[in-house]
Amino acid sequence: MVSEVSRAAGRDAATHQSDTGFHADTTVTLSGWELDNPVIPASGTFGFGKEFAELYDINCLGTFSFKGTTLHPRFGNPTPRIAECTAGMINSVGLQNPGVDEVLAVQLPKLQSYFHKKVIANVSGFSVEEYAETVRRLDECDQIGLFEVNVSCPNVHGGGISFGTSPEAAAEVTAAVRKVTRRPVYIKLTPNVTDIASIAKACEDAGADGISLINTLLGMRIDLKTKRPVIANKMGGFSGPAVFPVALRMVYQVYEAVKIPIMGMGGVSSAEDVIEMMLAGAAAVQIGAANLTDPYICRDIVAALPKTMEQYGITSLREIIGAAHRN
């Protein structure tokens, strides 16, 4: 349990005063859960936080989304899984994780020793039943602040088509998960669609408390020497600074389509990017690929936010959410 003293210390840390007397309030709220700041390392780029906790105090973060968890353990895809790109990277890790039972029995108890805030549980599945059962088991853990449900996975009972490419399939997963947890449910959407707003709206109508976007774009590289795809799976998820304009556009579109909060992500790598994403409509912002090139990036963005807010005359981050739609 987080003590009242710890909560008070967190509130104090989230209100910053510069040498000029400028006050910057970095606090944000996700479905009633107040965060000291909007900076959240994205699932798949931060593990369960242990390696980063050895480098700096990760309690400076708003929270983080832990490694994508499935009902059963997964070894992941064959190697090579990573390909470098201009202004980004392609990965096809394949949801490698120890499975929900080990996450509950081993990983989350360990997490308590170095991270003293609630975390985001990222959940994946290959059938509606798998999603629901994984969330049901994790729901017993008080460390979880909300669920982030990744619907970019292939539906094994639907011909392998991703749940997230169909409003009906995304809504079915949303409704099933909503029934088995008392916590907020955020649906993480794939950008590999023609109308992301309609899918977000279908999730909202099915009971989602929020939306996370974007997941990775689909990309590939070919080795000129071997004349074969670099990734063993041929294609993988493209992420990094190059995708930021696409992510920003989709956050902007979804903000106009739904009334629930949005966690924006995709190519974010600076405090300026965080603010731009919030202007488009994000209530909080996740940082993904940048963690893999600079393990201190999230810490540094948190530290840079107050000065960047002062530079642009922003006293409260909550007040700028969606401001680009009003100006």
CATH number, domain containing residue 259: 3.20.20.70
Q: Residue 296: inside a domain, yes or no? A: yes
The encoded tokens of residue 303 equal 């530290």
Residue position matching structure tokens 């924006």? 264
Q: Provide the pLDDT for residue 203.
A: 98
What is the distance between the alpha carbons of residues 249 and 253, in angstroms, rounded to a whole number?
Answer: 6
Mean pLDDT score across all residues of the chain: 93
SS3 82: strand
Q: Residue 228: inside a domain, yes or no? A: no
Q: Residue 253: inside a domain, yes or no? A: yes
pTM of the full predicted structure? 0.93
Q: Residue 232: inside a domain, yes or no? A: no
- Amino acid symbol at 100: V
Query: Total structural domains in the chain?
Result: 1
Q: Residue 22: inside a domain, yes or no? A: yes
In a 13 Å sphere around the CA of 146, the CA atoms on its Cβ side amount to 27
Q: Are 25 and 14 in contact (CB under 8 A)?
A: yes
Q: What is the pLDDT of residues 202-247, one digit of tens each?
A: 999 999 999 999 999 999 999 999 999 999 999 999 999 999 999 9
Catalytic positions are: 153
Q: What is the pLDDT of residues 43-93, one digit of tens each?
A: 999 999 999 999 999 999 999 999 999 999 999 899 999 999 999 999 999
What is the distance between the alpha carbons of residues 117 and 166, in angstroms, rounded to a whole number?
Answer: 34
CA 264 to centroid of chain Cα atoms: 7
Q: Are 263 and 282 in contact (CB under 8 A)?
A: yes
Residue 16 pLDDT level (bands cut at 50, 70, 90): confident
Q: Are 202 and 187 in contact (CB under 8 A)?
A: no
Residue 21 pLDDT level (bands cut at 50, 70, 90): confident
Q: Are 49 and 39 in contact (CB under 8 A)?
A: no
Q: Residue 92: inside a domain, yes or no? A: no
Q: What domain range is 263 assigned to?
A: 4-76+97-217+239-325
CA 123 to centroid of chain Cα atoms: 11
Q: Are 60 and 33 in contact (CB under 8 A)?
A: no
What is the distance between the alpha carbons of residues 208 and 210, in angstroms, rounded to a whole number?
Answer: 6
